[in-house]
């Protein structure tokens, strides 16, 4: 997903080859950390700060990353100054998602799809992407990556959002019709608990979770929205 960042690093002038290799290993360490800790997009500066603080706390037990540690601060300084600061597409996408009050998981999924799209069309900037780039990318996911129909639809929806809210033109719809759609399952009426049953259910919860459950039930908050309060 981030191979295009490696290409940017390889093109960086004034950095020796050995140093570039060390920086790339440090970046891979950081990207892996963000994934393992479910922090989301590594391009978020807050995640970089979390990573550095955590690494400083556990420095003594990181002997396997001793070489990366020596270059870590310089690496992240370069990454956020030369890559993230110029990532207009990612910044605009995140701002658009939050302006539409998208759920955190939706933001995470959409940003991940944008990163894969950026990697695919590099060195073309995503802000200069055309409809043909989108079609080519989706065909690539289908033919070469073998993505399922649902994954193809999610990728199309993510990038359609990017085209509409960031690039401000409509994404081509021709590919959307090629994505096979599963049959719509028959709708069943949901089971609804009575007030007495709800009260009994809440009383069964530990006290520290009872307030959260009542708040979520009363307001309709998504689980991630509740946990992020």
Enter the pTM of the model. 0.66
Shared domain for 139 and 213, answered yes or no, is no
CA triple 90-93-98, angle to 5 deg: 125
- pLDDT recorded at residue 136: 93
Domain housing 213: 195-227
Residue 171 phi/psi, 5° resolution?
Answer: -70, 150
Q: How far apart are CA 43 and CA 34, in angstroms?
A: 10
In a domain, 143, yes or no: yes
CA triple 116-223-31, angle to 5 deg: 30
- pLDDT recorded at residue 61: 55
Contacting residues for 163 by C-beta, under 8 A, at least 6 apart: 129, 131, 134, 169, 170, 171
- pLDDT recorded at residue 190: 63
Q: How far apart are CA 172 and CA 60, in angstroms?
A: 53
- pLDDT recorded at residue 65: 54
Tell me if residue 17 falls in helix, strand or coil: helix
What CATH number did the domain enclosing 127 receive? Answer: 1.10.150.130
- Per-residue pLDDT tens digits of the chain, which is 229 residues long: 677 788 888 887 777 888 888 889 889 989 999 988 888 889 888 899 999 888 877 765 555 555 556 678 888 999 999 899 989 999 999 999 999 988 888 988 899 899 899 989 988 999 999 999 999 999 998 888 888 888 888 899 999 999 999 999 888 875 444 444 554 555 566 678 888 888 888 888 888 888 888 888 888 888 877 877 7
In a domain, 182, yes or no: no
Shared domain for 167 and 204, answered yes or no, is no
Shared domain for 121 and 32, answered yes or no, is yes
Contacting residues for 119 by C-beta, under 8 A, at least 6 apart: 1, 2, 3, 4
Q: How far apart are CA 40 and CA 35, in angstroms?
A: 7
User: Considering its fold, how many domains does the chain have in total?
Assistant: 2
Q: Are 108 and 40 in contact (CB under 8 A)?
A: yes
């Amino acid at each position: 997903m981030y191979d295009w960042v490696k290409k940017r690093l390889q093109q960086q002038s004034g950095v020796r080859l050995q140093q570039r290799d060390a920086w790339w290993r440090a970046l891979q360490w950081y990207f892996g950390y963000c994934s393992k800790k479910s922090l989301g997009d590594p391009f978020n500066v807050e995640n970089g700060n979390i990573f550095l603080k955590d690494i400083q706390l556990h420095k003594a037990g990181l002997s396997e990353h001793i070489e990366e540690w020596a270059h870590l601060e310089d690496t992240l300084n370069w990454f956020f100054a030369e890559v993230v600061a110029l990532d207009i597409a990612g910044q605009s996408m995140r701002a658009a998602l939050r302006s539409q009050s998208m759920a955190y998981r939706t933001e995470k999924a959409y940003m991940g799809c944008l990163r894969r799209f950026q990697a695919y069309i590099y060195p073309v900037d995503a802000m200069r992407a055309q409809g043909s780039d989108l079609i080519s990318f989706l065909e690539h996911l289908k033919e070469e990556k073998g993505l399922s129909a649902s994954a193809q639809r999610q990728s199309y929806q993510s990038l359609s959002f990017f085209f509409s809210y960031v690039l401000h033109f409509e994404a081509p719809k021709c590919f959307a019709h090629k994505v096979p759609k599963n049959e719509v399952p028959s709708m069943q009426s949901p089971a609804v608990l009575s007030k007495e049953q709800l009260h009994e259910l809440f009383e069964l919860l530990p006290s520290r979770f009872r307030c959260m459950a009542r708040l979520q039930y009363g307001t309709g908050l998504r689980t991630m929205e509740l946990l992020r309060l």
